[in-house]
Amino acid sequence: GEDVEQSLFLSVREGDSSVINCTYTDSSSTYLYWYKQEPGAGLQLLTYIFSNMDMKQDQRLTVLLNKKDKHLSLRIADTQTGDSAIYFCAESGRTGGFKTIFGAGTRLFVKA
Amino acid sequence: DTAVSQTPKYLVTQMGNDKSIKCEQNLGHDTMYWYKQDSKKFLKIMFSYNNKELIINETVPNRFSPKSPDKAHLNLHINSLELGDSAVYFCASSQAGEGEKLFFGSGTQLSVL
């Protein structure tokens, strides 16, 4: 079946930029998403990108999509301690029946 | 005004019992879901309903039975609970035609003893 992979951990210092990477296998992906999960809470949609876009910027967040390599990244500028959370990459596409497939999540630790 | 609310937040029960989790959304969305998140935070879809009709039914044991009385509610009933059912269960909703942008509830932590 379709698969989404991302590294499990990332540690950065407060004020630095964080880059979380993700790869996916579904060549028919239509939308790609980044969700954030804080402890004890549900997932919150941070941002998403349509598959015909290369980049999307939203305040401190920049999403880059390399469709040829099936690679998605999320850059968080000026990372704050409040950004510490689990970040999930996800995709939905025709091959998967438009179900959203999630990666295992990247745990971001921000050191003060 | 919670957009997607699910109850209870915590559920502790004995093996073999039957339990239900309720979910309601006030976003006017037409699609609702149940996801299961295991201890390693891996998230997997269980069911999806669109306008009260079941459209996704993953390989979930038939001890799990969803029920959608109307498009704003999707409940999950679990019979004969097993230790392996312990997880966090998330309800979510989305509106068709908007790229399946999911809005999640805060989760129900189920512990089977």
Instruction: Spell out the SS3 assignment of chain B.
Output: CCCEEEECCEEEECCCCCEEEEEEECCCCCEEEEEEECCCCCEEEEEEEECCEEEEECCCCCCEEEEEEECCEEEEEECCCCHHHCEEEEEEEECCCCCCCCEECCCEEEEEC
Confidence of residue A26 (pLDDT cuts 50, 70, 90): confident
Identify the pLDDT of residue B18.
Answer: 97
Nearest Cβ partner for A104 among B42, B101, B104: B42
Identify the pLDDT of residue B82.
Answer: 97
Three-state secondary-structure class, residue A83: helix
Confidence of residue B26 (pLDDT cuts 50, 70, 90): very high
pLDDT, greater one: B75 or A99: B75
Q: Is the dihedral of CA A89, B3, B91, A2 positive or negative?
A: negative
- Whole-number average pLDDT of chain B: 92
Identify the pLDDT of residue B98.
Answer: 61
Nearest Cβ partner for A100 among B40, B42, B102: B102
Confidence of residue B57 (pLDDT cuts 50, 70, 90): confident
Identify the pLDDT of residue B66.
Answer: 93
pLDDT, greater one: A102 or A29: A102
Residues of B at the A interface, defined by Cβ within 8 angstroms: 4, 40-45, 48, 56, 90, 92, 99-107
Q: What is the mean pLDDT of residues A39-52?
A: 92
Confidence of residue A93 (pLDDT cuts 50, 70, 90): confident
